[in-house]
Structure 1
Amino acid sequence: MSDSRRRKPPLVADKRYGGKPRAKPPTRGKKTARKGSGGGGGKRPGPPRKPARRKSPQKRRNPMVAFVLGLFGWSFGLIWRVTWRLGAVTVALVVLAAGISGLTMPPIDDLYDGRARGSVTILDDQGEVFAWRGDQFGGVVTADTVSPHLKNAIVATEDKRFYRHWGVSPRGIASAIRINLSEGRGPLSGHGGSTITQQTAKLLCFGQAYDPEEWDSEAAYEADCRESTLLRKGREAIYALGMEMRYSKDEILGLYMNRVYLGEGTRGFEAASQRYFGKSAANVTPAEAAMLAGLLVAPTRYAPTNDLARSQSRASTIVRLMEEQGYLSASAAQNAIDHPAQLSKRAQDQSGGYFADWIMSSTPDFLTSKTTADVILRTTLDQRIQTAAEDALKWVFDQKVRDGSEAQAAVVVMSADGAVRAMVGGRDVQASGVFNRATQALRQTGSSFKPFVYATALELGWHYNDIVEDTPLTINIPGSGPWSPENYDHQYRGPVTLEQALMKSLNIPAVRVADAAGLDNVRKIASDFGIESDLAAGPALALGASESTLIEMVGAYAGILNGGSSVTPYGLQEVRLQGDAEPLMGSEGGIGERVIREDAARELIYMMRQVVTRGTGGRAGLPDREIAGKTGTTQAARDAWFIGFSADYVAGVWMGYDDNTPLTGVTGAGLPAEIFHEVMARVHDGLPVHALPMLHPAPEPARTIADNGRGGSSGGGGGGLETAIERALKDIFGLN
């Protein structure tokens, strides 16, 4: 029997070589007959085959279309091949340039303070800061030393992906271009899309230092560094990438925090924190950190010293950004919004603007405007007295000057040794960098000059009770003809004492006394007391025809108070460099040489005391202490003065118009005396009472002052210049 019908196993070779497995044998079932035989045993017929489809003939493409499509495909392929190769080369060149740039960058410590000039910090008499000039740099801060709130506020505001990019943010640039175009600006105008790294690159001016020979000023240098062009943007991106290769993220952030300008002359967050809050940047609260970060967009506009409410509003926006980015909890953010940052008292006071300007202008340039170091100026300013002067002037103008008036005023308060304690140079009491009427305005002094006429007479030996005629007087002035002075009220009183003449501010007696004492002598006494302006040559000198500044006049009156010695008004006590213990220079003012005898000065103080108690200066008096002084009103009331003193301080007030328009209804006995009263009342509030150093000599027989033959009635009685000189020599040298 044959086994040919058995199913043979598959060959081993089929498995080894991966041949197709054989088809499974058909399922056993009913056998079918072989084809062509009568019996079964043949293959089972398969399923019927479908008739084969006839292939349709291929449709031929238009040759022109085929050519265009082929050309397009070839061009696109060529462009793609060229583009990616150029892109790769460009990226390689940029990376190479950034790497070279990074390798040439200096150590990080050399970049923190990039100021081209130094700063000036001005201290008051107690050593407290009250003014700054130049670029302030409070010291180096780092991302680790500042408050975490400040670091977070800066990142949230300026570059929320700072710690995730490589120095350039394509997403930020694209967003900035879209916003600029939507707002109708050029793609590079307005929003820049710059990262903190790119902003730091601009602050460093891509490593190019300031050269005064290349730029007209530091401002021009900075403007050039901030210029926005495609070329600049490319350079900025390369330098930013180089910085990312050279420095760490925190080091870049530290550079940014030290170099950025934050208003009010502050460079860096430490200086700004000290300026606005009186504390280190390490200790700021979330509200204060948000306010500081808000300065980055526009430091002058958002400076809290300019508009605190606007600065607080901007800070609230930044607090919300910090909350959105997870730097603050909802409760902490709400607390910062409900309790916004406030200026420190020192930043609020704003006192001493005119004073600081005067100090800067009277100190050598190499220590102030042109300094390249950080300079400390300690001054004589008393901020309590400064505030008193400002408040008094403002109160009088608010209460007693009509609305719309453009009249101006100035105030100076000084110690008897010439130390200036307060200065207000105009009605805008907190102004700075403007015309200072206390030191720069040369104005006729009027009757406020008369004390120097009587100081000359007293020095020559006359006394308060000597007689001078108040009668019509005409003097022939060579080259000008006859001159006939008149009293303010156009009346004559006949014989009057020197005390009465000064007390009532009579013009004719003053001219007679000056003429008898000698105009040259009067001019010398006034000059020695510190009035350095050109003094009139004729007899009108006695009536204040000469011009002077308020600070000169107050300094001259200080010489009377201190017993007859000249003073040089000064405001600077010492100059030193920041960090140095030894001063570079000290005060250049103070008491100088004696001008008149002490007895003469004490007698003059007595006479000036009568001006306040019984004469034209009644409104200047204080109820609780002795005040002496003198009024002054010039021709047509273009200037009105009151200058006087207590035992402790000298103060002077000038009032007038900048364009010499006559004052309406104002004399020295009016508003200037009232301003003086308000200033001195505030200055002396709470101080112990001291008596004026007056001398009331024992009455002597009255003598009549002659006219030296210039005309007018002498009234008899002898005296005259010759007799006065003899008496002065006796007093000085003990002659009999």
Structure 2
Amino acid sequence: MADDGEDLKNKRLKSHFFLRLDAWLDSTLWAAGFRFLDLWEEITIFFRRFRVKGWKRIPVELAGEALTWGAVGMIAMLALAKPAFEIAKSDWRKKSDFAVTFLDRYGNVIGHRGIIHEDSVPIDELPDHLVKAVLATEDRRFFEHFGIDFLGLFRAVSENARAGGVVQGGSTLTQQLAKNLFLSNERSFDRKIKEAFLALWIETHMTKKEILSLYLDRAYMGGGTFGAAAAARFYFNKELPDLTLAESAMIAGLFKAPAKYAPHVNLPAARARANEVLTNLVQGGLMTEGEVIDARRHPATAVDRSTKEAPDFFLDWAYEQTLDVARSQDFSDHTLVVRTTLDAGLQHAAEQAVETGLRQYGETYRVKQGAMVVIENGGAVRAMVGGRDYGENQFNRATKALRQPGSSFKVYTYSLAMEKGLTPTTPIVDAPICWGNWCPGNYGNSYAGRIDIQTAIAKSINTIPVRLTKEKFGKKPMDQIVALAKKFGVETPLRNDVTIPLGSSEVTVMDQATAYAVFPAGGLESRRHGISQITDYGGNVLYDFDRDAPPAKRVLTQQAADYMNHMLTRIPYVGTARKAAVDGVLTGGKTGTTQGYRDAWFCGYTGNFAAAVWFGNDDYTSSNNMTGGSLPAMTFKLVMDYAHQGLPIREIPGADPAPEIAEQVNKEKPVVEKTEETADAAPVFVRPRMLTVASTRVVKDIGERLKGAKPLKRLEKVASVE
């Protein structure tokens, strides 16, 4: 009984505690609410003193709205500026710490990249007329604005509207420097926003002299040269301080369009542009007509450089690779000699093939750009075309442009199917299929019914890879496709939505060339690379790909790779890529055409090479019904016909062509004589005669043996006499 009484007492105490707590909360909240209402009334009464009535209310309301939207705008600007400032945080100054001389695969000099600041000319030592010519032409208000010239922008918009086209740019010199330092030449609204914010950042972190000096050092000047100092040496064999006014005017005219006004390419255009620069000097009040008259009467003449060609898109990419290697291995020497994998002959053939295709068919198909990458079996990048004209636009469409690959992406889906145990002859139904709200259709909206997988890939049927992904791949099928594509060498981040089996996620031309090189390698990763060796100027080897690169890993099982080679080598003969078959060489590959005919691809290979070819437009406009089996396939064939001349043909592992395909491969190519009727036919590039692979190995072996041999006594005696 005592325990029961104690429990009852405790319950009452707890009940009283919670009742008191509830009462305190109620009173506190009521008092706080009352106090808030009282305070709000006081605030309202206070601000009533400032209430504006009548016509005065209009400017007050407008000012209030301006402040509100101004705050919103500031927040939006901060959000837009963040990506730009993240770019600026990078150690961009060290990008020019290295001076690199590039050699092709045979040891011939093909170009230079990098700048040594100690060798650049200080701004105070530059000729006055060069600085004035650049400012008068590129940015007359350079010393007055803060990175963005709103007056100049308004003037440019007015002039362009009056002329009915773009005749004057609104970008300041600082904005152009921001683009050269941090951004690409890709035309997009996002890039212009970043450019504007980076220009403001540059103005707050550098003096005007530093900005001008960097601009003169970093701009592309045509002929594979970067910076005004390199341009002076290339075009006039002079140092910057020794330039005449006429020569300075010609160099200042290059900043706008180096390909168009390069004097070694088009001297009349360069002189006309230089004359415009002289006019700008007079109109800007920087010089009088009397001071420029002699330069008008005696225009500059450039040194003959018409035979010089530089694989600039490849060099830009190889320079980035060099910086990655040098920094990862912490090279102490920043003056390097890099032997690349580039084959100059094959590079020239690739450039000519892309340009020829655009000239012959560009207007018909309404396309203006193309890109191509050629990789030899083993991973060496032998050729790269990043666009039609490097001088006009240095944006590398082979390594940086993200485009939808279309059906050329299906190889990852089919490769995964082969890994899952399917075979080329596995039957599957071609019929309408939906995945959620997405219902892909075939070209022409027709369906073949029950077919095998090798027929589906040859005819590029859309429903089959979707059906395989949905029904055969188990859990998270899209993740499996993405993972396999990464193993193949695709470095671009991929989306994993349901449309990915049909190639909806963007990739680069380099990605596709790298991936397709897996097939002639028998399922091993291709180990794509553009650098074979790096040495200092003393000849000391700092990096060697064969020595330092990790061995190739297996990407596909041997069986799956053989199945894929069997199927892909049918497509150029019985499928959608009949214009891609290389004469006398078994060829494999896959076409790709995106929705609206915006992008057309052919990605293919032989036992010796793999290549990816893309044609389209920078502004993503549609072509005139161009497919991957047309111009891209023809361009691939043109380059591969050249590449295999005089070359021992390697077999494609696992490829077992049917008799009718073998007959097409072995059929002799008819000799076509050059007549008026065949004058417009696709050109045939002839590869110069060279040593066979076996002969090359013998010569290299002799060279290696002689390295350790002692010189002959007779030669030693002659050397001592000399």
Instruction: Please tell me the TM-score bracket, short chain as reference.
Output: 0.5 to 0.7
Whole-angstrom CA distance in 2 between matches of 1:401 and 1:670: 12
1:464 corresponds to which residue?
A: 424
> What are the Cα deviations for residues 251-280 of structure 1, in whole angstroms up to 9, with x where unaligned?
xxxxxxxxxxx99459999x988x689xxx
Number of matched pairs: 432
Structure 1 residues 44-63: aligned runs within 5 Å: none
1:444 pairs with 2:404: yes
The CA RMSD measured in Å over matched residues stands at 4.3
1:663 pairs with 2:612: no
Letter in 2 for 1:379: T
SS state of the match for residue 525, structure 2? strand
Instruction: Determine if contact 2:364/2:624 at 8 Å carries over to the other structure.
Output: no
Whole-angstrom CA distance in 2 between matches of 1:680 and 1:560: 17
> What are the Cα deviations for residues 221-265 of structure 1, in whole angstroms up to 9, with x where unaligned?
6999xxxxxxxxxxxxxxxxxxxxxxxxxxxxxxxxxxxxx9945
1:387 corresponds to which residue?
A: 348
1:679 pairs with 2:659: no
Against the structure 1 CA distance between its residues 377 and 296, is the aligned structure 2 distance closer, same or farther, given a 3 Å change threshold?
farther
Whole-angstrom CA distance in 1 between matches of 2:104 and 2:224: 22
Against the structure 1 CA distance between its residues 671 and 590, is the aligned structure 2 distance closer, same or farther, given a 3 Å change threshold?
farther
1:537 corresponds to which residue?
A: 496
TM-score normalized by the length of structure 2: 0.53
1:572 corresponds to which residue?
A: 531
1:307 corresponds to which residue?
A: 263
Instruction: Determine if contact 2:569/2:657 at 8 Å carries over to the other structure.
Output: no
Instruction: Determine if contact 1:117/1:372 at 8 Å carries over to the other structure.
Output: no
SS state of the match for residue 570, structure 1? coil
Whole-angstrom CA distance in 2 between matches of 1:220 and 1:363: 28
> What are the Cα deviations for residues 649-668 of structure 1, in whole angstroms up to 9, with x where unaligned?
11101122222212221111
Against the structure 1 CA distance between its residues 276 and 679, is the aligned structure 2 distance closer, same or farther, given a 3 Å change threshold?
farther
1:626 pairs with 2:591: no
Structure 1 residues 338-487: aligned runs within 5 Å: 342-343=304-305, 345=307, 348-350=308-310, 352-364=311-323, 373-402=334-363, 405=366, 407-428=368-389, 430-431=390-391, 434-475=394-435, 477=436, 482-487=437-442
TM-score normalized by the length of structure 1: 0.52
1:497 pairs with 2:452: yes
Letter in 2 for 1:636: G
Letter in 1 for 2:488: F
Structure 1 residues 558-637: aligned runs within 5 Å: 558-583=517-542, 586=545, 592-637=552-597
2:468 corresponds to which residue?
A: 513
1:119 corresponds to which residue?
A: 99
Q: How much has 1:397 moved relative to structure 2?
A: 0.9
Whole-angstrom CA distance in 1 between matches of 2:246 and 2:405: 50
Letter in 1 for 2:526: V
Whole-angstrom CA distance in 1 between matches of 2:379 and 2:520: 11
> What are the Cα deviations for residues 635-659 of structure 1, in whole angstroms up to 9, with x where unaligned?
2222111100111111101122222
Instruction: Determine if contact 1:354/1:433 at 8 Å carries over to the other structure.
Output: no
Instruction: Determine if contact 2:358/2:367 at 8 Å carries over to the other structure.
Output: no
Q: How much has 1:432 moved relative to structure 2?
A: 8.0
2:247 corresponds to which residue?
A: 298
SS state of the match for residue 583, structure 1? strand
Q: How much has 1:400 moved relative to structure 2?
A: 1.4
1:524 corresponds to which residue?
A: 483
Whole-angstrom CA distance in 1 between matches of 2:386 and 2:446: 36
Letter in 2 for 1:416: N
Q: How much has 1:431 moved relative to structure 2?
A: 3.8
Over the matched positions of the two proteins, sequence identity in percent amounts to 34
Instruction: Determine if contact 2:232/2:238 at 8 Å carries over to the other structure.
Output: no
Instruction: Determine if contact 1:263/1:295 at 8 Å carries over to the other structure.
Output: no
Shifted more, 637-646 versus 129-138: the winner is 129-138
Q: How much has 1:468 moved relative to structure 2?
A: 0.8
Against the structure 1 CA distance between its residues 365 and 470, is the aligned structure 2 distance closer, same or farther, given a 3 Å change threshold?
closer
Instruction: Determine if contact 2:591/2:602 at 8 Å carries over to the other structure.
Output: yes
Instruction: Determine if contact 2:566/2:657 at 8 Å carries over to the other structure.
Output: no
Letter in 2 for 1:505: S
1:733 corresponds to which residue?
A: none
Whole-angstrom CA distance in 1 between matches of 2:656 and 2:365: 46
Letter in 2 for 1:545: S
Q: How much has 1:577 moved relative to structure 2?
A: 2.8
1:133 pairs with 2:126: no
Q: Larger C-alpha radius of gyration, 1 or 2? A: 1
Shifted more, 673-682 versus 381-390: the winner is 673-682
Against the structure 1 CA distance between its residues 546 and 581, is the aligned structure 2 distance closer, same or farther, given a 3 Å change threshold?
same
Structure 1 residues 9-408: aligned runs within 5 Å: 119-135=99-115, 220=212, 264=225, 298=247, 301=250, 306-308=262-264, 310=267, 342-343=304-305, 345=307, 348-350=308-310, 352-364=311-323, 373-402=334-363, 405=366, 407-408=368-369
Please state which structure has a larger fraction of its residues in helix.
2
Instruction: Determine if contact 2:569/2:589 at 8 Å carries over to the other structure.
Output: yes
Whole-angstrom CA distance in 2 between matches of 1:426 and 1:447: 22
Instruction: Determine if contact 1:627/1:645 at 8 Å carries over to the other structure.
Output: yes
Against the structure 1 CA distance between its residues 548 and 215, is the aligned structure 2 distance closer, same or farther, given a 3 Å change threshold?
same
